Amino acid sequence: MGRALDVAEAEPDLPPAEEGADRLLDHLNRVQSNLGRERGEAPRLVAELLSLPLGRWEEELRREARYHTWGVCELLLVKSAEAADAAASGRLAALTLAGADRLDPARHASPIVEDLKARAWAAAGDARRRAGDLAEAERALRAAAACLAQGTGDLLVEARLLEFEAALRREQGRIGEAAALLKMAAARYRETGEVQLCERTLAAREMILRQERSIL
């Protein structure tokens, strides 16, 4: 009994700062565990959702809580980027937005969800651009920018939006603006160490500048 008392005395309560650090670490570990589980479940859930008739996708997603996960939203956004045609890409981006609106704020911090929404709006807008609806693409760009302003400040998200805006400005015939936006996007990629994305963006910028020079 005396030995037990000695051990207790040798391990006093943690100071508040250390307690706070331990709580933060425990929270981060839980977040990572939940995220890993959600990502592991996402392929099955997304396949289940997309196996339904197209007209039921959004209604089912909104109704069924099992689809309200980060993993599902993330995978829907990936599928939107991979879609072969603009209509399919736009539908999947819209599903991502519907899912993001239903993520549990207790499990997913608001700024991170806003980053996700910004990416989804950019995907939806780019689908509109590809379909030739530049007015709707412009509206999506404004929505994406509003989400970005409430986000984490992630430079990769910002770079993606700059690329989308550049593509839209190019479609609008505003070549100089498009080139400037691509230069900004490349700088964001460079700052985050994304060398390949930086090089790709600079190559796209050079291509549209060559096209502009050939027109002049």
Q: By residue range, what is the domain housing residue 85?
A: 2-109
What pLDDT is stored for residue 32 in this prediction? 60
What pLDDT is stored for residue 24 in this prediction? 43
Q: Is 183 helix (H, G, I), strand (E, B) or coil?
A: helix
Residue 24 located in a structural domain: yes
**pLDDT at residue 8 greater than cutoff 50:** no
Residue 148 located in a structural domain: no
Positive/negative CA dihedral, 95, 97, 102, 104 = positive
Residue 18 located in a structural domain: yes
> Got the DSSP string for 139-164?
HHHHHHHHHHHTS---HHHHHHHHHH
Residue 160 located in a structural domain: no
Residue 125 located in a structural domain: no
Residue 48 located in a structural domain: yes
Residue 206 located in a structural domain: no
**Angle CA 63–64–65, to nearest 5:** 115
Q: What is the tens place of the pLDDT at every residue in 12-38?
A: 444 555 555 555 444 444 556 577 889
Residue 155 located in a structural domain: no
Q: What is the tens place of the pLDDT at every residue in 73-131?
A: 999 999 999 998 999 999 999 999 999 999 999 888 999 999 999 999 999 999 999 99
Give the number of domains in the chain. 1
What pLDDT is stored for residue 35 in this prediction? 77
